[in-house]
Amino acid sequence: MNTFSGSDSIRFGWETFKKRGWFFVLVTVLVGVVTGVISGITSSLGHDGGTAQTVGNVLNFVLSTFVGMGVTAFFLKAHDSLETAQSGDLWHPQPFWLYLATRLLVGVVVVVGLILLIVPGVIFGLMFMFASYIVIDKGLGPVEAMKESKRITDGHKWDLLGFAILLLLINILGAICLLVGLLVSIPVTSLSVVHAYRTLSKTA
C-alpha cells in the first residue's frame, strides 16, 4: 500500500521538473503573462468606478477561474503523462460551473473556519485542498468533490500541514531569488501537490 510523504511528493515534483525544465519554465511564464494581461485589461475598466469597475471585477474573476482550471488540468496531465503534456493542455474550459462552485464553496467554508478561532479554517483548508483537482480530474460536483477530498485526507492532516508549510517555504525562497526562482518553485510545488493527490487517492 502507498503511504503519503510530503518530502517524497516534493522530491517527485523536482525530479519531474528536471526532465522537462525549460518546458515548465515557459509554461509558467505563459500563465504569468496571461494573468498579467487579464489583470491589466480588467483593472483598466475600473478607473472611473461604478458599473465599469463592477464589470471589470466580474470579468477578472471569470477569466482567472478559466486560468485556474487550465493550470490544474495541465499539471494533472504533466504528472500522469509528462512526455505528452503540452501548453495546449492549459485550455480546459470544462466543467466551468462545477469548478467555480467548488472554489466558492471551499472558500466560504475556510473563511468561516478562520473566523472561528483560525484553527478550524486551517483544518478545513487541508481537508478540502484537493477538491478543485477532483472536479477537473473526475468531473464531480462541488459537494461530492469536497466529500472525496475529505475522505482521502482523513488521518493525514498533520502530514499535509507539514507538506503545505514546505510548499510555502519553497515558493518564498523562489520569490527571494529575484522572483526568477518562482519559475522553478511554482511548477515544482504544483507537481508535488498533484503527486500528493494521486498518492492519497491510491492509499485511501
pLDDT in tens, 105-164: 999 999 998 888 788 899 999 999 999 999 999 999 999 999 999 999 999 999 999 999
Residue written as grid cell 469548478:
99
pLDDT in tens, 28-63: 999 999 999 988 887 777 666 667 777 788 888 899
Q: Strand, helix or coil at 12?
A: helix
What pLDDT does 129 receive? 96
Percent of the chain with pLDDT over 70: 96
Report which of 5, 11, 14, 6 is spatially closest to residue 186, judged by C-alpha positions.
14
CA 63, 68, 74, 77 dihedral sign is negative
Report which of 113, 114, 110, 73 is spatially closest to residue 90, judged by C-alpha positions.
73
**Domain segments of the chain as ranges:** 6-203
